[in-house]
Amino acid sequence: MDQQSVPSPQRRNFLLLMLAGVGSALGAMAAWPLLKFLSPSGSGGGSTQVKIAKEKIPLGGAYFFDYRGRPAVLLEPKPGEYVALTAVCTHLGCIVKWHKDQQKFICPCHGGQFSAEGDVLKGPPPAPLESYQVSLDGDQVVVG
Amino acid sequence: MQIVKRVIDWVDVRLGVRELVEENTTGYLVPRNVNAWYSLGTVLLTLFAIQFLTGILLLMYYIPDTEKAFTSVERIMNDVPYGWLFRYLHAIGSNMIVVALLLHMFSVLFMGSYKKPRELTWLSGFTIFNLGLVLCLTGYLLPWSQLSFWATTVATDAAGAVPVIGAKLVELLRGSPSVGAQTLGRFFALHVMALPLVLLGLIGFHLFCVRRIGISTAPFGKDARPARTGEKFEHELHPNGIPFFPNYTMEEGAIVCFFLAALVAVAFFAPQLFIPPDALVPADPYNTPEHIKPEWYFLWAYQTLKIFPSKLLGLGVQVAMMTFLALLPFIDRSEERRPAKRPLFVTCYVLGILLIIAISIWGHYS
């Protein structure tokens, strides 16, 4: 076909379309490594199973530790009985505090209260604290 | 598309952007005999942008601590997805920048574009060149490898040749008597914050000079013009020139793509060119590796220090040479820009480049 027979605006639109296509392809090629580079690896980088020596957990008290990259807490409400919960408040993500004398968690940010089992007692938290599976391995408590 | 047009209309009513864009693209005419060498400024802008971007990405995982720096770089290379790519682009990109800076400087020298009224453009460009080298030097230490540790030790030690204050100067550079945690701290601060800020300001000033004065005509063919010597400011217009956009931008785009292709090719197929074996061993302050050598662009300086009987003399020669280059537009005040009509300059130019290359090769094999 004679080049002159193609109207100029049509050629311009075609070239723009091609340029946009190539640009998008190159952009995607650059964006993929960037996205992967910025994405956190795994589930926060923490181990899926954590072992804690029994002696670290005070009777009636709490032991805070890192579980799958997030703060968690281990309680021993009665001798030999262990409860593992997330320490992240379900309201706005603050870390709850264990009040031994009242045997409950109180969130320092907005006053949300949770029982030793993680149930909501009072305040704005919309859901209970997530609990984790606990088992015993000799002198150690295994969470997860 | 209608919404895009309406947004542009809205901004245009307030800021007159259409006129601004037109003035700087299709309405901005550059000399008809402009050549590929003129694209090196855009190449450098692109490469600096890549350095900024990859540098920010590396900062997310790099830890500036002597105990953790090497491990954090190892993690970037081996564990972080595509971390190796961004690090290679950053490390190889810095070498590419030095190449482009040298080519840019040599082409400006050859075409006599540093002459009046472009003295400030040259001075700011020359400062950018030196700042680029300092950025390379400060970044070199950050991986805290044997290579980076000892190369920095040798480089900072050279300042000791300065009479009277030499020892104090070395200590000031290092933050301690020998390269250590303090050195890493100050090199890190300089590399990621202080120097990039200065560089941005200088690049802005350099571009302002280029745009304000106008692009110089290449001193070849019938369009060649002598340097202007008038006492009144005058923007160099090119009424018969070609539009900056799209005509010249397309040519520049091709050269930029060529450099990017070279950068990616080295990053994928020959990264070991810039990551020698000593860069893979963590720094050991009690064990100097044999035949430690600086990067290729510092080899001439390294060898010059060794040639002369005293370090002070070697350092003096380097300082004299760099000062001469910086002040060249004030020394060479002739109007003539055509290389064929400047035989003395061209002879010195060619011999100077050959001498630097020869000394660098000597330094590499010495």
3-state secondary structure B278-329: HHHCECCCCCCCCCCCCCHHHHHHHHHHHHCCCHHHHHHHHHHHHHHHHCHH
| Interchain pair A37, B79: CB under 8 A | no
- B85 near A CB under 8 A: yes
Residue bearing the bigger pLDDT, B234 or A41: B234
- Using a CB-CB cut-off of 8 Å, the residues of chain A touching B81 are 33, 36-37, 39, 41
pLDDT score at B231 = 86
Q: Does residue B185 surpass a pLDDT of 80?
A: yes
Closest CA to A132 of A59, A53, A47: A47
Q: Does residue A45 surpass a pLDDT of 60?
A: no
- Using a CB-CB cut-off of 8 Å, the residues of chain B touching A37 are 57, 80-83, 86
pLDDT tens column, B2-44 = 899 999 999 999 999 999 999 999 999 999 999 999 999 999 9
Residues 6+ apart with CB under 8 A from B36: B251, B255
The sign one gets for the Cα dihedral B69, B71, B75, B78 is: positive
Q: How many CB atoms lie under 10 A from the CB of residue A123? A: 15
Residues 6+ apart with CB under 8 A from B138: B187, B188, B190, B191, B195
Instruction: Find the Cα–Cα–Cα–Cα dihedral B270, B73, A30, A39, rounded to 10°.
Output: 150
Rounded to the nearest angstrom, the minimum Cα separation between A38 and chain B is: 8
- Using a CB-CB cut-off of 8 Å, the residues of chain A touching B264 are none
Closest residue of chain A to B54, computed from CA coordinates: A34
Rounded to the nearest angstrom, the minimum Cα separation between A65 and chain B is: 23
Q: What is the CA radius of gyration of chain A?
A: 28
Q: Does residue B272 surpass a pLDDT of 80?
A: yes
- Using a CB-CB cut-off of 8 Å, the residues of chain A touching B77 are none
The whole-number average pLDDT for the span B103-118 is 96
The whole-number average pLDDT for the span B225-246 is 89
Closest residue of chain A to B85, computed from CA coordinates: A33
pLDDT score at B290 = 83
3-state SS class at B257: helix
Instruction: Find the Cα–Cα–Cα–Cα dihedral B81, B84, B87, B92, rounded to 10°.
Output: -150
- B268 near A CB under 8 A: no
pLDDT score at B320 = 96
pLDDT score at A2 = 55
pLDDT grade, residue B73 (50/70/90)? very high
Question: Choosing among A12, A35, A37, A39, which should be mutated to test the B contact, i.e. which has the most B CBs within 10 A?
Answer: A37
Q: How many CB atoms lie under 10 A from the CB of residue B128? A: 21
pLDDT score at A46 = 58
pLDDT tens column, A56-101 = 999 999 999 999 888 999 999 989 899 999 999 999 999 999 999 9
> Pairing between strand A113-114 and A134-137?
unpaired
ipTM above 0.85, yes or no: no
Rounded to the nearest angstrom, the minimum Cα separation between A139 and chain B is: 34
pLDDT tens column, B245-258 = 999 999 999 999 99
The tokens describing B31, both together, are: 């000399």
d(CA B152, CA B158): 10
- Using a CB-CB cut-off of 8 Å, the residues of chain A touching B86 are 33, 37
The tokens describing A32, both together, are: 């993929």
Closest residue of chain B to A36, computed from CA coordinates: B81
pLDDT score at B226 = 85
pLDDT grade, residue B243 (50/70/90)? very high
Q: Does residue A6 surpass a pLDDT of 90?
A: no
3-state SS class at A64: strand
- Using a CB-CB cut-off of 8 Å, the residues of chain B touching A41 are 79-81
Q: What are phi and psi of B241, to 5 degrees?
A: -75, -175
Domains of chain B, each with CATH number or no CATH: 32-217+235-297 (1.20.810.10)
- Residue % of chain A over a pLDDT of 90: 76
- Using a CB-CB cut-off of 8 Å, the residues of chain B touching A36 are 81-82
- B207 near A CB under 8 A: no
pLDDT score at B143 = 97
| Interchain pair B82, A38: CB under 8 A | no
Q: How many CB atoms lie under 10 A from the CB of residue B122? A: 23
- In CATH, which of 3.30.70.60, 3.20.20.70, 2.102.10.10, 3.40.640.10 is domain A50-143? 2.102.10.10
**Side-chain-side CA neighbours of residue B233 (13 Å):** 5
Q: Does residue B337 surpass a pLDDT of 60?
A: yes
pLDDT score at A4 = 59
The whole-number average pLDDT for the span B105-129 is 97
| Interchain pair A39, B81: CB under 8 A | yes
Maximal CA-CA distance, chain B:
74
The letter for the amino acid at A91 is H
Question: Choosing among B82, B86, B257, which should be mutated to test the A contact, i.e. which has the most A CBs within 10 A?
Answer: B82
Rounded to the nearest angstrom, the minimum Cα separation between A21 and chain B is: 17
Q: Does residue A1 surpass a pLDDT of 60?
A: no
- B79 near A CB under 8 A: yes
| Interchain pair A37, B80: CB under 8 A | yes
pLDDT grade, residue B291 (50/70/90)? confident
